[in-house]
């Protein structure tokens, strides 16, 4: 309704300064994008990039929401979202904070509610511990692993990859980038 069309909706949870999702919107006008970030000061940087860069002046398939991802099921309707991007999510290294990780089984439940039939989550990180934890959570939650790689930039999935701010920084330091594409359990 807001976009005035029925194109699929892709969201990025924790978009930071928005480099990835704004560029995705420019490249894919047939998809509606929503960037989600919980800190208004950070979201403002994304808005400034979007408003001030000539390159994006004709891009009108993107919106932004300042919110905590915990509230996703209250903001989006059941099955409304076709793809969720999680890029370089905060690791929350202490075990007692595991529930806060955006790839915990608690967050998978939230994503399951808003994802369309055949909807997917794509997760990129250079943090191998977080990636391994996420692979475990996929299994614990009964989700399906479509594909994964421990070195995206040297994999068959490298072509067309749009880099995030953190991805540029960490790959420049020589860190391999891990990526997984996952789906909720099959619904009957």
Strand order from edge to edge, sheet including 81-87:
62-66, 32-37, 9-13, 81-87, 115-125, 178-183, 144-149
Provide the terminal-to-terminal Cα distance of the chain, rounded to the nearest Å: 28
Minimum Å gap between C-beta 185 and ligand SAM is: 23
Tokens (6 digits) for 132: 């391994």
Residue 46 CB neighbour total at 10 angstroms = 20
Minimum Å gap between C-beta 57 and ligand SAM is: 23
Q: Between 82 and 122, whose beta carbon lies closer to ligand SAM?
A: 122
Give Cα 148 distance to the centre of its chain.
15
The span from the CA of 30 to the CA of 15, in Å, is 20
Q: For this structure, is 118 an active site residue?
A: no
Q: Between 4 and 17, whose beta carbon lies closer to ligand SAM?
A: 17
Catalytic residue among 53, 68, 90, 146: 90
Q: Between 14 and 119, whose beta carbon lies closer to ligand SAM?
A: 14
Residues contributing to the site for ligand SAM (CB under 6 A): 13-16, 36-39, 42, 68-70, 87-90, 164-167
Which residues are annotated as catalytic? 90
């Amino acid at each position: 309704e807001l976009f005035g069309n029925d194109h699929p909706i892709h969201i990025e949870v924790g978009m930071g300064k928005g480099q990835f999702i704004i560029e995705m919107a420019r490249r894919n006008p047939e998809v509606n994008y929503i960037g989600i970030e919980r800190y208004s000061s950070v979201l403002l940087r994304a808005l400034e990039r979007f408003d001030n860069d000539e390159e994006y002046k004709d891009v009108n398939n993107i919106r932004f929401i300042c919110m905590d991802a915990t509230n996703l099921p209250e903001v989006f309707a059941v099955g409304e979202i076709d793809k969720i991007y999680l890029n370089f999510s905060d690791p929350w290294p202490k075990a007692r904070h595991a529930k806060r990780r955006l790839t915990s089984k608690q967050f998978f439940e939230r994503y399951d509610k808003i994802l369309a039939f055949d909807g997917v989550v794509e997760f990129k990180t250079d943090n191998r511990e977080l990636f391994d934890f996420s692979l475990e959570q996929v299994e614990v939650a009964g989700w399906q692993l479509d594909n994964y790689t421990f070195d995206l930039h040297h994999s068959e999935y490298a072509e067309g990859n749009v880099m995030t701010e953190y991805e540029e920084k960490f790959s420049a330091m020589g860190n391999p980038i891990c990526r997984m594409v996952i789906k909720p359990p099959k619904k009957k």
